[in-house]
Amino acid sequence: MPSQQPFFQSRFQKAEVDSVLWQEREGTLTERPNQRTFAFLKPDTVKNRLVGEVLSRLEQKGFTFKELRLHQITHKEAESLYSVHKGKPFFQELVDHVTSGPVVLIVLQGPNAVETLRKVIGATNPLTAEPGTIRGDLSVSITANVIHASDSAENAKKESAIFSLDTS
Catalytic position from the list 71, 75, 97, 148: 148
From the centroid of its chain, how far is CA 129? 13
Beta bridge partners of 64: 109
Alpha helices in the chain (DSSP H): 4-26, 43-47, 51-60, 75-81, 91-98, 113-121, 134-138, 153-162
Active site residue 148: yes
Enumerate residues 6+ apart whose C-beta is below 8 A from 118: 149, 151
Active-site residue list? 148
